[in-house]
């Protein structure tokens, strides 16, 4: 596997954290979210999400081939994608972003239907798809939270 694929799949080697690599990957996704959001350009947000999805699928496939196991533990680019999707195009303050972080972690662990089934898709697509679905669920819940309590989360 190329070093570039490993760098992307592990989100700059964050996936090698000795404990809770998925949580660290989600935190990296939250940091990327804030960096992109600070630009104030929704098209940039969409472009970054698309780039993470494409690069993540490619690099996760390469990591599976190299490491010889499905959905290798150090691969956390899927958490980055799910975190970005959870907060995509929603006006949030710090409290809202933290709610999104914890909500995504919960949904990523629980994997409500049909997210868990997406893990059976081949290669990097399966690595990414369940977290994308958790991110979609998270985004829907966040939209409800922001609409219901805008002063708290937006």
Q: What are the tens digits of pLDDT across the range 86-96?
A: 999 999 999 99
Check whether 3 has a pLDDT greater than 80: yes
Q: What is the mean pLDDT of residues 13-35?
A: 95
* The pLDDT of residue 67: 83
* The pLDDT of residue 108: 94
Instruction: Give every CB contact of residue 16 below 8 A, 6+ residues apart in sequence.
Output: 10, 74
Q: Dihedral through CA 138, CA 17, CA 56, CA 107, nearest 10?
A: -20
Instruction: Give every CB contact of residue 10 below 8 A, 6+ residues apart in sequence.
Output: 16, 63, 74, 75, 76, 77
% pLDDT > 90, the chain: 79
* The pLDDT of residue 1: 53
- List the domain boundaries for the chain: 3-153
**Percentage helix, strand, coil for the chain under 3-state DSSP, each rounded to 5:** 75, 0, 25
Note the maximum CA span of the chain. Answer: 48
CB 84 within 8 A of CB 49: yes
Q: How confident is the model at residue 52 (pLDDT cuts 50, 70, 90)?
A: very high
**Averaged pLDDT score across all residues of the chain:** 93
* The pLDDT of residue 153: 81
pLDDT in tens, 112-152: 999 888 888 889 999 999 999 999 999 999 999 999 998 88
* The pLDDT of residue 56: 98
């Amino acid at each position: 596997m190329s070093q570039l694929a490993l760098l992307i799949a592990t989100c700059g080697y964050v996936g090698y954290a000795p404990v809770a690599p998925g949580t660290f990957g989600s935190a990296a996704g939250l940091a990327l979210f804030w960096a992109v959001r600070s630009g104030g350009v929704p098209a940039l947000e969409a472009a970054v999400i698309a780039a993470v999805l494409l690069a993540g699928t490619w690099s996760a496939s390469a990591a599976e081939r190299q490491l010889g196991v499905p959905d290798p533990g150090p691969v956390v680019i899927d958490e980055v994608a799910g975190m970005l999707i959870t907060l995509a195009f929603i006006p949030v303050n710090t409290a809202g972003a933290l709610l999104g972080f914890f909500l995504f972690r919960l949904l990523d662990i629980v994997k409500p239907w049909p997210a868990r089934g997406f893990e059976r898709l081949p290669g990097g697509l399966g690595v990414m798809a369940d977290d994308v679905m958790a991110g979609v669920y998270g985004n829907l819940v966040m939209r409800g939270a922001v609409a219901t309590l805008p002063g708290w989360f937006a």
